[in-house]
Copies of this chain bind each other. A is one copy, B any other.
């Protein structure tokens, strides 16, 4: 009998090299974007032949699509509370703090490519949409959709300048420092006007 424990199943072996290819592809897509990422370079980084990459994924678009998927599609797990604007704001800040600490490389691949690749842009849109709806639901004003769009734009602007452009002022700061500065911004956007007006009218008027 052949020892089936030591060298695992054909399918397992395949999944293993597939994962190595995907990891290399994610890294390169995140670093230089879709166009400048070549199948040949991905294969070399993964230690396999270029033909094998094509054999597994068929096309470069499919490779990008698979590489850009977050592991186990864990997105639906992180939901924002929509009860009050304050809760949503804090949850959004906490989510941003996590992303500022270590943004998944698959997300960076999408962000890096979304300005020059329509498939990446579409993936960005569909990934951001449920979150936009959650933010909108927590804001009690008629212009909630625009406010939610601005909050999302701020989050992504900060992440882009920190990770993709490496601007020193944002790249060197700590996540806590950034979210502490952004908290009043977010509260102003989510809570409409200031709760207590300065000069209180008489109680009976």
CB neighbours of A154 from chain B (8 A): 153-154, 157-158, 185
A60 within 8 A of B: no
29 A–B contact pairs at CB < 8 A? A32-B116, A33-B35, A33-B116, A35-B35, A112-B116, A113-B115, A113-B116, A115-B115, A115-B165, A116-B116, A124-B165, A125-B165, A143-B181, A145-B169, A146-B177, A147-B181, A150-B182, A153-B157, A153-B160, A153-B170, A154-B158, A155-B157, A156-B160, A156-B161, A157-B157, A157-B160, A182-B189, A184-B185, A185-B189
A196 to chain B, nearest CB (A): 13
Beta-carbon contact of B167 and A125 below 8 Å: yes
What per-residue 1/0 map shows which CB atoms of A161-190 lie under 8 Å from chain B?
100110101100100011001101100110
Q: Are B167 and A149 in contact (CB under 8 A)?
A: yes
The number of residues on chain A lying at the interface, defined by a beta carbon within 8 Å of a beta carbon of chain B, is 45
Interface residue ranges, A against B (CB under 8 Å):
32-33, 35-36, 111-116, 121, 124-125, 128, 132, 143, 145-150, 152-158, 160-161, 164-165, 167, 169-170, 173, 177-178, 181-182, 184-185, 188-189
Number of identical protomers:
2
Main secondary structure of the interface of A (DSSP, over half): helix
B35 touches A146 (CB 8 A): no
Instruction: Please determine whether B149 and A169 come into contact, CB atoms closer than 8 angstroms.
Output: yes
In Å, the complex CA distance between A155 and B128 comes to: 19
Chain B contacts for A36, CB-based, 8 A: 35, 116
Give A137 Cβ to nearest chain B Cβ, in Å: 14
Known: A149-B170, A150-B182. 19 other contacts (CB 8 A): A33-B116, A35-B36, A115-B115, A115-B164, A116-B116, A146-B173, A149-B161, A149-B169, A150-B158, A150-B178, A150-B181, A153-B160, A154-B157, A155-B157, A157-B158, A160-B160, A184-B188, A185-B185, A185-B188
